[in-house]
Amino acid sequence: MREIISLNCGECKRKNYTVTKNKKAHQEKLEVARFCRACRKHTPHKEGKV
Q: Report, in Å, the least distance between residue 7 CB and Zn ion.
A: 11
Classify residue 49 by its DSSP letter. Answer: -
CA distance 10 to 3: 21
Q: Report, in Å, the least distance between residue 45 CB and Zn ion.
A: 8
Instruction: List all residues 6 or more positions away from 2 whose beta carbon is below 8 Å from its beta carbon.
Output: 20, 21, 22, 23
**What is the per-residue binding string for Zn ion in 28-47, x denoting contact by CB under 5 A?**
--------x-xx--------
Number of residues that bind Zn ion (CB under 5 A): 6
> Interface with Zn ion by CB under 5 A: which residues?
9, 11-12, 36, 38-39
